[in-house]
Amino acid sequence: MDIVDKATRSRMMAGIRGTNTKPERVVRSWLHRQGLRFRLHKAGLPGHPDVVLARYRVAIFVHGCFWHRHPGCRDATTPASNAAFWQEKFRKNVERDRKKTAELRRLGWKVLTIWECQTTSEKQLARLAARVRSSSL
């Protein structure tokens, strides 16, 4: 049973954005401070990666733990109400992520994923920047 009424839940869900989220902004700010320059949501690439570093041929996805099912993360919960709907939605999200990653790799891109829960860790962000730099071709 949901703790809020249907109209409130609908308004809350409508407020969730797919681009320019706080985790994305944190990652972009960190990369920029490291001297890495990038493009955002490159339309010509499969999956419209959140951050594209063309110089390194690296595409970065900043995934929300809830929506993209971060394995083992406490934020990857499944709502109790309408569980079948949510399980199917999450399954499709994960499958779409897998397909878009494979397409990008076939095109010669290195694909990196940073999870929402990792964006609060300086260590994880530093590791991401190091992985980008190690991708120079």
Q: Is the predicted pLDDT of residue 136 greater than 70, yes or no?
A: no
Architecture of domain 18-133: 3-Layer(aba) Sandwich (3.40)
Query: Mind listing the pLDDT tens digit for each residue in 45-70?
Result: 999 999 999 999 999 999 999 989 99
Q: What is the pTM of this model?
A: 0.84
Sheet of strand 110-115: strand arrangement: 39-40, 51-53, 58-63, 110-115
Token pair, residue 120, equals: 């609060």
**Judging by beta carbons within 10 Å of its beta carbon (0-12, 13-18, 19+), is residue 77 exposed, middle or buried?**
exposed
Token pair, residue 60, equals: 């970065």
Q: Which residue has the tokens 């999450």?
A: 90
Q: How many CB atoms lie within 10 A of CB 34?
A: 14
Where do the structural domains in the chain lie, given as residue ranges? 18-133
